[in-house]
Amino acid sequence: MVSLISSNFNNLRPDSKLTRMSQRRKFIKQSLMGSALFIPGVSSIAEATAPSLFKGEKPLILSTWNHGLPANAAAVEKLKSGGSIIDAVETGVKDTELDLSNLSVGLQGLPDREGITTLDASIMSGDGSCGAVAFVRQVKHPISLARVVMEKTPHVMIVGEGAKQLAIAEGFPIEKEELSPGAKKAYLKWKETSQYKPVINIENHDTIGMIGMDAKGNLAGSCTTSGLSYKMHGRVGDSPIIGAGLFVDNEVGAATATGLGESIIRICGSFLIVELMRQGRTPQEACEEAVRRLIAKNSKDIKDIQAGFLAMNKDGEVGAYAVHPGFNFAQATLQNNVMIDSGSHFKKG
């Protein structure tokens, strides 16, 4: 096992995937902008650069990456139809879990190095209730299973076969285990060289993390992913780890993360941001400090590591920051849903 890993570590060629993922990101961005008027619950879409666009407006929903736009729209619709904030953050990311064009969330996500897609998800409410599942197979909506862990079990996290058993017991459909056409094609291509390195490039992370606040100021968050593509079988990232990929506290605010999970777990990224906000930092200052901390603790490989943080405080102020350029997020109120580019520690060029 060890020799297999190290031989693959030595077999790196990061160029082509970066290009492919950049192109895909650009395509999704163009498609979303082009189809903006058809997204339910969205009355206007624009590109902006400052994270404070709707400062103080409630309800407020934030989601990582371009798939955040339709996810936000679904979350806002849920709120409009009387759903709670926890319903909204679950419903919002379920949209992404079903998005066949997304290769890093849901069962259509890229598999691990054995060719098996495994999913991680977490959900948290501002009162401290939380649930998570990790290393789950054949379940279309890991976020809903995480909610079951939160609401129907005395536990916080259930993984692997146990999570599948819980899904069966709760009546979740168990899907046939086969790769989506897109994932299969990418996996077969990857297998030609089996290049593997646990730090990947800037564009290889597309987890959805969503944080939201209802009109009364109650907070909740959700995070769901198929994790790092071609990861070791059994690898779990930050997304299902409460405090790493997601943390929510009604007294302070909420934060979520995307990017190389190992680097985020090392600094308890989302918990760190909420605690910095508790000490008086703005969400923006807290995200920037978390990125500085992450860089300090992962400095050796930092040129290959992307991670981005997204946060809001209970006053509806917003912050976002990433290690490298390229991270963006969607911000929605009842009337608007816009993409915003995050700032980054390292600048373009």
Active site residues: 207
Interacting positions 63-122 with ligand ASP (CB under 6 A): 104
How far are the Cα atoms of 13, 83, 307, 348, 349 from residue 325, in angstroms, in the given order?
21, 35, 10, 6, 10
263 vs 333 by CB, closer to ligand ASP = 263
Minimum CB separation of residue 44 from ligand ASP in Å reads: 28
- Select from 45, 73, 146, 228 the one that contacts ligand ASP (CB under 6 A): 228
Beta-sheet pairing, 219-225 with 246-249: unpaired
Span near ligand ASP by CB under 6 A; candidates 3-11, 154-162, 171-179, 237-245: 237-245
Binder to ligand ASP among 205, 281, 314, 324 (CB under 6 A)?
Answer: 205
* Contacting ligand ASP within 238-277 (CB under 6 A): 238-239, 258-261
Quote the tokens at residue 276: 């910095």
Does residue 133 bind ligand ASP (CB under 6 A)? no
CB atoms within 10 A of CB 308: 30
Least distance to ligand ASP, CB of residue 193, Å: 22
Sign of the torsion formed by the C-alpha atoms of 256, 259, 262 and 267 = negative
Q: How far is CA 193 from CA 12, 13, 186, 260, in A?
A: 9, 9, 12, 22
Q: Output DSSP code: residue 171.
A: T
Are the beta carbons of 197 and 9 closer than 8 angstroms?
A: yes
Asked if 324 is part of the footprint of ligand ASP (rule: CB under 6 A), the reply reads: no
Minimal distance, residue 311 CB to ligand ASP, in Å? 16
Based on CB atoms, which residue is closest to ligand ASP, 240 or 316? 240
Tell me how many helices (H) and strands (E) the chain has: 10, 14
Backbone angles phi, psi at 128, to 5 degrees: 100, -10
**Residue 290 binds to ligand ASP (criterion: CB under 6 A):** no
Q: Interface with ligand ASP includes 225 (CB under 6 A)?
A: yes
State the DSSP string of 98-164: T-TT-SSSSTTS---TTS---EEEEEEETTS-EEEEEEE-S-S-HHHHHHHHHHHSS-SEEEHHHHH
Q: How far is the CB of 346 from ligand ASP (least distance, A)?
A: 18
Cα separation, 326 vs 33, in Å, equals 17
User: Contact letters (x/-) for ligand ASP, 36-55, by CB under 6 A?
Assistant: --------------------
Applying CB under 6 A, the span of 11-19, 128-136, 201-209, 292-300 interacting with ligand ASP comes to: 201-209
Residue 206 binding ligand ASP, by CB under 6 A: yes
Q: Of the listed pieces 10-18, 189-197, 199-207, 285-293, which binds ligand ASP according to CB under 6 A?
A: 199-207
Binding-site member from 142, 198, 237, 316 for ligand ASP (CB under 6 A): 237
Name the DSSP letter for residue 244.
T
Closer CB to ligand ASP, 138 or 207, in the complex: 207
- Rounded distance, CA 336 to CA 229, Å? 33
CB closer to ligand ASP out of 118 and 138: 118
Task: Kindly report the three-state secondary structure assignment for every residue of 246-270.
Answer: EEEECCCEEEEEEECHHHHHCCCHH
Q: Least distance from C-beta 271 to ligand ASP, angstroms? A: 15
Closest distance to ligand ASP from the beta carbon of 265 (Å): 8
Angle at 225 between CA 347 and CA 339, to 5 degrees: 45
Number of residues that bind ligand ASP (CB under 6 A): 14
CA 237 to chain centre: 11
Which residues contact ligand ASP by CB under 6 A? 104, 205-207, 225, 227-228, 237-239, 258-261
